[in-house]
Amino acid sequence: MEVQIFGVKKDADTRKALRFFKERRIKVHFVDLEQRSPSPGELRRFFDRFGEERLIDRSAKRFAALGLQTSYYGDERWLEIACDEPRILKMPLVRSGSRLSVGLDEAGWKGWLEG
């Protein structure tokens, strides 16, 4: 099993996700969103599954700094914004094959390992 984790190293939940999989000797491919923005194709999987309600972190500092508090866009526009400004996303975004999760979801990840 391999997992791909999208996040930033400064984020506590991202660090917990990295530790969770490394402790279980699962191969992790980490994508640091401060160094590389995600492609629209990578993010589309998450937007199609969860929608902007679960993906956009409206309490993020970057969200407030961009003045997006009163913005009401559709998923496509949020996808464009998230590709340019990934720090507005809830982190970590974790993918293993077709399985996806948003945020810290240790119970869900344990289910992946058992299944």
Q: What is the pTM of this model?
A: 0.89
Which residue range is the domain that position 14 belongs to?
2-114
| CATH number of residue 55's parent domain | 3.40.30.10
Whether the predicted pLDDT of 70 surpasses 80: no
Residue type, 49: R
The strand pairing partners of 102, in sequence order, are 93
Q: How confident is the model at residue 77 (pLDDT cuts 50, 70, 90)?
A: confident
Who contacts 99 (Cβ-Cβ below 8 Å, separation ≥6)? 112
Least confident interval from 22-26, 75-79, 80-84, 96-100: 75-79
Q: Looking at the 3D structure of the chain, how many domains does it have?
A: 1
Supply angle C-alpha 36, 26, 101, rounded to 5: 60
